[in-house]
Amino acid sequence: DTGVSQDPRHKITKRGQNVTFRCDPISEHNRLYWYRQTLGQGPEFLTYFQNEAQLEKSRLLSDRFSAERPKGSFSTLEIQRTEQGDSAMYLCASSLSTFEGTGAEAFFGQGTRLTVV
Amino acid sequence: QKEVEQNSGPLSVPEGAIASLNCTYSDRVSQSFFWYRQYSGKSPELIMSIYSNGDKEDGRFTAQLNKASQYVSLLIRDSQPSDSATYLCAVVNRGGSNYKLTFGKGTLLTVNP
């Protein structure tokens, strides 16, 4: 299976701990997105990479969140000093830009469900 | 004004009927439009993409785009109970080299046997 892969699938952590999630995009996909989704809501944009460059970060995202995509391959999302409000599904998606002027289809991984207790 | 708006539903249709899902967007320079299906507890699954005005058909699904009205819709013909899910509308807005993908809150569809 060469789809988007996320690890871990589930994470339970105590409030105040740091957590890190990993996303492996579809190979050759140059765009990578991170989203957060809570019950009854659509995916909320967190940040976006084109290759290794982080092009946009949501203004709603606190400084406790950081993401990297070294060498334009896999990406990590770290949450420092977790809070109960961080409990959510964290989704990663990737896409391939084909030519100027269009946004290509984005495919999601299975997500990482974070529970902060 | 929210960037992408959908009626949250729930939308309930009988089996075999046509389900019509609607979405409006606020940014006139939006270029690409997508519909995702999301089953409870699962991640979104891409089912349709549309880039130009008009209709695009794929099996029982038809996406319709009207850029002048900033409106995109999804029709599901011969609805089946397995179509019961939340349907998410997503839009790519281009700002410079930035292709941000923004989602609506989704419409919950229930198909009754």
| Dihedral of alpha carbons A40, A42, A47, A50, sign | positive
- The string of pLDDT tens digits covering residues A42-83 is 999 999 898 999 988 888 778 999 999 998 899 999 999 999
The helix or strand, by DSSP H or E, that contains position A114, with its residue range, turns out to be: strand A112-116
3-state secondary structure of B81: helix
Q: What is the mean pLDDT of chain A?
A: 91
Q: How far apart are CA A60 and CA A45, in angstroms?
A: 9
pLDDT of residue B5: 94
Chain B positions in Cβ-Cβ contact with residue A89 (cut-off 8 Å): 43
Mean pLDDT of B43-56: 94
B100 pLDDT more than 60: yes
Number of A to B CB contacts under 8 A, please give it: 68
Percent share of chain B, pLDDT over 90? 77
Inspect the interface and report whether the beta carbons of B31 and A101 lie closer than 8 Å: yes
With an 8 Å Cβ cutoff, is B26 touching chain A? no
In single-letter form, the type of residue at position A87 comes to S
3-class DSSP string for B84-112: CEEEEEEEEEEECCEEEEEECCCEEEEEE
With an 8 Å Cβ cutoff, is B42 touching chain A? yes
Question: Which tokens in the block code for residue A77?
Answer: 């999302």
pLDDT of residue B96: 58
> Of A38-47, B18-27, B94-103, where does mean pLDDT reach its minimum?
B94-103
**Residue B92 CB burial class (10 angstroms; 0-12, 13-18, ≥19):** buried
Inspect the interface and report whether the beta carbons of A55 and B45 lie closer than 8 Å: no
